[in-house]
Amino acid sequence: MFKLDLSIVIPLFNEEESLPELTDWIARVMERESFSYEIIFVNDGSTDDSWSVIEGLRQRNPNVKAISFRKNQGKSAGLNQGFKACTGEVVVTMDADLQDSPEELPELRRMILEDHYDLVSGWKQKRYDPITKTLPTKLFNAATRRISKIKLNDFNCGLKAYRLEVVQNVEIYGEMHRYIPFLAKNKGFDKIGEKVVQHQARKYGTTKFGLDRFVNGFLDLGTLAVMGKFGRRPMHFFGAAGSLMFLLSVALLAYLGGFKLYLLSQGMEVRLITENPLFYILLTLTILGVQLFAVGFMAELLLRVSTKKHDYTVDAKIGLD
């Protein structure tokens, strides 16, 4: 099967002003480099005229393809659907707001093909964002580096390049688009590189992301850290924690029983075990241990019978089967 040189996946929400300029800029770079390419716009339920603009761009440029969601379903959903439609040897993701430069595309492609990286992530070393965005981003990146053991400076940069096999094997859901390098590493694609890329000031509109994305990001990171290690064997996590708590409760019970027998042997007055505060700690540990063990067992059963994938409501497509 013939593969294009590049598939460029661009998720978007209410970016009607920037789309024509971005498409023309990409086309100029592709023609200069003599690359075969496709631009896959994923319209995430935009409420402006973004879809009409894309339809017009398709008439001018047959390399433009598009997917449209009936409602807003998030960047991860957009990337997931875009990845399924890719036919390029190298896949690049970028934002639609003109803050990512298409001039970076040839070098990103070269790094994948010639330097043999599985994934190359952009690093916006110099950013045109307010401190309310840059400071949380630095904290987020530091935490992600520590947990993932991947030495990247900018996990959340939208400009990334992938070998086609990577996007075919990584499923993105929820808000996991921030952690695609982590997801790729968990799938065995561990040759991950980084490239300093140009960050441009936003030309049209306003950012679609608020500070809540950082809170959600840290929660997702915790989920991914556990799922990456125990996702296919949840009993190893929940069962181990439950067993530890149960063993602690048994040890406390042995201590309380042994201590009471010792006091009785000394002829001392002894209270009921249930009057000792340690008894209630013991009881709590027992209940938690049983519950965690049961959760692990249920998770194992669900894992074995579940075949459901993440489905998204696609409203329309352009140029795609």
Mean pLDDT, the chain, as a whole number? 85
pLDDT above 70 coverage of the chain, percent: 83
Residue range 51-66, pLDDT digits in tens: 999 999 999 999 999 9
Which pair of tokens denotes residue 226? 């556990």
Distance in angstroms (rounded) separating the CA atoms of residues 124 and 196: 6
Is the torsion defined by CA of 280, 286, 287, 288 positive or negative? positive
Determine how many CB atoms are found less than 10 A away from the CB of residue 182: 24
Domain boundaries, the chain: 4-230, 234-303
Q: What is the pLDDT of residue 30?
A: 97
CATH topology for 4-230 is Spore Coat Polysaccharide Biosynthesis Protein SpsA; Chain A (3.90.550)
Residue range 194-233, pLDDT digits in tens: 999 988 777 776 665 555 655 666 566 666 666 655 556 7
Confidence grade of residue 132 (pLDDT, cut at 50, 70, 90): low
Which residue is it, tokens 């959600």? Answer: 216
Is residue 306 scored above 60 in pLDDT?
Answer: no
Please report, for residues 223, 247, 266, 284, the alpha-carbon distance to residue 288 in angstroms, rounded to integers and kept in the order given: 20, 11, 35, 6
Confidence grade of residue 179 (pLDDT, cut at 50, 70, 90): confident
Confidence grade of residue 258 (pLDDT, cut at 50, 70, 90): confident
Pairing status of strand 37-43 against strand 64-69 = parallel
Q: Which residue has the higher pLDDT, 33 or 212?
A: 33
